[in-house]
Homo-oligomer: A and B are copies of this chain.
Amino acid sequence: MARTGRRPGTTRTREAILRAARLDFGEKGYDGASVRGIARRAGVDPALVHHYFGTKDRVFIAAMEIPYDPGEMLERIMLDPEHDPAETVVRLFLRVWGDEHDRAPFLALLRSAMTSERAADVLRGFMTDILAKRIAPRIGVEPLRAGLIASQLFGMVLVRYIIRAEPLASADPEEVVTHYAPAVRLVMGLSERKRH
């Protein structure tokens, strides 16, 4: 939908609903969240949520729209000759997940995917169709390896920010980078040219 045709009030309401949805899905997972709960949190009538998005399913998909293209970002990281891509990607995950606001859509997606088939579909679709088939070949990483790198990164945020197990939960981000990036680099399976 083009932004130009939307009145300011409409956009604000829509954004408020999406922000509320990210929080609601993040806290309760897909099954626990509800259109009514999202509407209450956004301070709007549930009918308005239905008006903008239709079903809970559609609110979820809209709320999960990441405000940037992960493919472009990964391509930039992998092709940057100045920085080690494994360190950059581990540092990026730690920075985004270390910020309560920035991690909200990702936390919502991951949490929901754990308990709801519908939400798992969304994440599976992204990983299978976009990460493995489109992004991986473009950045020169085998699709299976891309899935295993995603495993390392999802696992790290799971243990550090969701389970919050010590000492990982309180470890200095740079200490985590030091210990973890070499393992991510190894799974990348890049030629020596890419290694530092």
Contacts and interface: CB of A to CB of B under 8 A. Distances in A.
Interface of A: 28-29, 32, 110-111, 113-115, 120, 123-124, 127-128, 131-132, 143-145, 147-148, 150-156, 158-160, 162-168, 171, 175-176, 179-180, 182-184, 186-187, 189
Nearest to A166: B128
A163 B115 contact: no
Contacts of A180: 148, 151, 187
A131 to B, nearest CB: 7
Copies of this chain, whole number: 2
Contact of A151 (B110, B148, B160, B175): B160
Contacts of A145: 179
5 contacts: A123-B165, A128-B167, A144-B168, A182-B186, A183-B183
Contacts of A147: 159-160, 165-168, 171
A168 B150 CA distance: 10
Among A153, A164, A166, A176, which residue has the most Cβ atoms of chain B within 10 A? A166
A164 B124 contact: yes
Contact of A120 (B144, B163, B187): B163
Contacts of A166: 124, 127-128, 132, 143, 147
Contacts of A183: 148, 152, 183-184, 186-187
